[in-house]
């Protein structure tokens, strides 16, 4: 199953791949070179398909849990001062996505979307210290009675050239449902209350919509 954001790109890439294979077969006479080029093109197409895959996730909705919004590796767990929305301290948990990860963004908690904003910006590598403030990004806040307000920020990376955000202010967010998509590599920062019990560790691999990032009791 492929995400709707990839349908157009997959179709265009398919036409290009088929055309390139016919051209190589027609104009490249050296057999080993012809086969190598065809193989490279097929591998490229498989990578595009893998990037836009959207596997079904088995989300166990729980109002006491904040789930990972994306697939990837936990690269930051620290107390920070969040200055865009809260203007106070929060626990930041950041998940880095490689180009091979599923890039669907999912709601970490259920509730009401109280803030949603797009910021144009640079395309620094996603792990750059200033990426969260200078790169293209979106900021979304979902609030409910258990967690209060939880902020997640989609951040573009060096390859990501488009962030898709479905979250609209005053809309209803359902834990684990699609809330956006980041095309070609990036990271997502999650900002949680200071009294949240963090359930992940650095370098741990997590799955969007399934892995528990934090718990509020």
What residues are labeled active site?
Answer: 186
Q: Please tell me the distance from the alpha carbon of residue 106 to that of residue 109, in angstroms, as a whole number.
A: 9
Q: Please tell me the distance from the alpha carbon of residue 43 to that of residue 128, in angstroms, as a whole number.
A: 29
Answer for the pair 215, 62: CB distance below 8 angstroms, yes or no: no
What are φ and ψ of residue 196, in 5° steps? -70, 140
What are φ and ψ of residue 13, in 5° steps? -65, -40
* Beta-bridge mates of residue 85: none
Task: State the distance between the two ends of the chain, measured CA to CA, in whole angstroms.
Answer: 36
Q: Please tell me the distance from the alpha carbon of residue 165 to that of residue 202, in angstroms, as a whole number.
A: 27
Q: How far is CA 203 from its chain centroid?
A: 17
Angle between helices 7-27 and 31-51 (to 10 degrees): 180
Answer for the pair 187, 163: CB distance below 8 angstroms, yes or no: no
Answer for the pair 140, 113: CB distance below 8 angstroms, yes or no: yes
């Amino acid at each position: 199953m492929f995400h709707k954001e990839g349908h157009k790109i997959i179709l265009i890439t398919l036409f290009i791949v088929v055309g390139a294979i016919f051209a190589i077969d027609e104009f490249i006479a050296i057999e080993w070179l012809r086969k190598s080029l065809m193989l490279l093109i097929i591998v490229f197409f498989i990578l595009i398909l893998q990037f836009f895959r959207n596997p079904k996730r088995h989300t166990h909705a729980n109002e006491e849990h904040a789930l990972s919004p994306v697939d990837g590796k936990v690269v930051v767990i620290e107390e920070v001062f969040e200055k865009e929305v809260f203007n106070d301290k929060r626990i930041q948990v950041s998940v880095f996505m490689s180009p091979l990860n599923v890039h669907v963004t999912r709601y970490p908690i259920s509730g009401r979307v109280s803030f949603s904003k797009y910021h144009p910006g640079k395309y620094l590598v996603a792990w750059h210290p200033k990426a969260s403030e200078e790169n293209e990004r979106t900021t979304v806040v979902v609030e409910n009675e258990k967690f209060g307000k939880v902020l997640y920020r989609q951040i573009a990376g060096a390859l990501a050239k488009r962030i898709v955000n479905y979250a609209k202010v005053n809309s209803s967010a359902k834990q684990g449902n699609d809330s956006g998509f980041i095309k070609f590599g990036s990271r997502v920062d999650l900002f949680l209350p200071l009294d949240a019990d963090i359930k992940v560790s650095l370098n741990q691999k997590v799955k969007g919509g399934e892995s528990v990032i934090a718990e509020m009791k």
